[in-house]
Amino acid sequence: MDSKQIIVIGGGAAGFFAAINLAEMHHGSEITILEKTNKLLSKVKVSGGGRCNVTHQCLDTSELIKNYPRGSKELKQVFARFSVKDTIEWFEKRGVKLKTERDGRMFPVSNSSETIIDCFMREIKKYNIKINLQEEVLSLQKTSQNKFNLKTTKQSYLAHAVICSIGGHNQIKNYNFIKEAGHAIEEPIPSLFTINIPNNNIKELMGLSVNSATVKVIGKKHQYTGAVLITHWGLSGPAVLKLSAFAAKDFFETDYNCDISVNWSGKLNDEEVKNALSENLNLKSFVINSPLFNFPKRLWDYFLAKAEIPSQKPWNELSKKQINKLSQILTCDIYKMKGKTTFKEEFVSCGGVNLKEIDFKTMQSKIIPNLYFCGEVIDIDGVTGGFNFQSAWSTAWIASQLLV
């Protein structure tokens, strides 16, 4: 088993994590990382605004997997083998302490992604892992001796096993060599974006947010409740990002032209909101002075204007028709989405190697023995919050346990 040649394709989060754990397991194997650019761990560097949101403090696997629009079923068994707790311990064992923020996101205590990069580079040096930069893998073929012949932009390699961790891409051509080797690729489409609403005066309220609103693509099943932020281009915030990830295919099918409904009350229905409004109907004060559900006053004013209710009208003079209209706006406020905006440059693609073609007990290809996949190259993606790195660490760790 020793002195086997193992090639890791891609010098990103998953490739490094796989190579390091592989070196720990298989002393004596010759491990080489091939990276097409002249930079290593470039996404790790910029991740989490330069702080690297390494994982999310969610120790219950059944809760954790709810954060993955694609791949949650497969990740259940993956996280059972290498969990969030294992991630925390892995880094701590190598001198990197993580801290948890109020929303559950975990970062290095140093608040710098360089800490993660330095840790990886130390391990790479310790195990003598080779790294070849500016070598793009162009093809991957099995030889008659059951080895792999890899062709790159510079040379050819023979390998006993290959770990493919080329990340996610927005163009299918980047997966060509995997496709040509015999794997089906799910078409890459964007995930994690915010909603553009041109020509709508709600944008004048940019910066205002509501803690609990429900967003939905009209006519589709997905809906999410959470904070919604009004921006100068439309709508953003955790509920919108979650919707963009879980309904990525629905949005794609409409070419990002669809109707979005917002229930500003969170989860109340029309009847319940009408009842809440009715509780104020004996007040003599102006409607503007007592916003329902603690809405910011300017937003409340916007809802009143939309319902054609003068803000200086006393509550006890509102007609039934006005109450109905206001309730309808609060529970089913419709906006025309035209286009999307990438969230803080955090491009995450859905799509990649088809889930059915991978054995998630080993991360080995079911089609080509001794070929392993890990990280975003697989048709798995998570919402924002450290979930994408967690699936990269876990799938990479399992791939590193390979036996050749």
Applying CB under 6 A, the residues found at the interface with ligand FAD are 9-15, 34-37, 42-43, 46-48, 52-53, 136-137, 165-167, 174, 345-348, 375-377, 386-389, 392
Which residue minimizes CB distance to ligand FAD?
A: 12
| Residues 120 and 8: beta-carbon distance below 8 Å | no
For 356-397, strand residue ranges (E) read 358-359, 364-365, 371-373
Smaller CB distance to ligand FAD: residue 11 or 226?
Answer: 11
**361: phi then psi, degrees, rounded to nearest 5:** -75, -30
Smaller CB distance to ligand FAD: residue 10 or 71?
Answer: 10
* Smallest distance, ligand FAD to C-beta of residue 283, A: 47
Instruction: Kindly give, in sequence order, each residue whose CB lies less than 8 Å from that of residue 324, ignoring residues fewer than 6 positions away.
Output: 274
Q: Measured between alpha carbons, how far is 397 from 355 in angstroms, rounded to an integer?
A: 18
* Smallest distance, ligand FAD to C-beta of residue 300, A: 35
* Smallest distance, ligand FAD to C-beta of residue 278, A: 45
CA–CA distances in Å: residue 283 to residues 5, 39, 218, 274, 300: 79, 65, 36, 15, 17
Smaller CB distance to ligand FAD: residue 11 or 234?
Answer: 11
Q: What are the structure tokens assigned to 67, written together?
A: 């954060």
* Smallest distance, ligand FAD to C-beta of residue 368, A: 16
Smaller CB distance to ligand FAD: residue 22 or 34?
Answer: 34
Smaller CB distance to ligand FAD: residue 37 or 312?
Answer: 37
Contacts 24+ apart (CB under 8 A), 300-308: 302/201, 302/202, 302/205, 303/264, 303/329, 303/330, 303/333, 306/333
Length of the chain: 404
Smaller CB distance to ligand FAD: residue 174 or 327?
Answer: 174
Which H/E stretch holds residue 262? strand 257-263
Residue whose structure tokens are 């589709």: 220
* Smallest distance, ligand FAD to C-beta of residue 384, A: 7
* Smallest distance, ligand FAD to C-beta of residue 335, A: 27
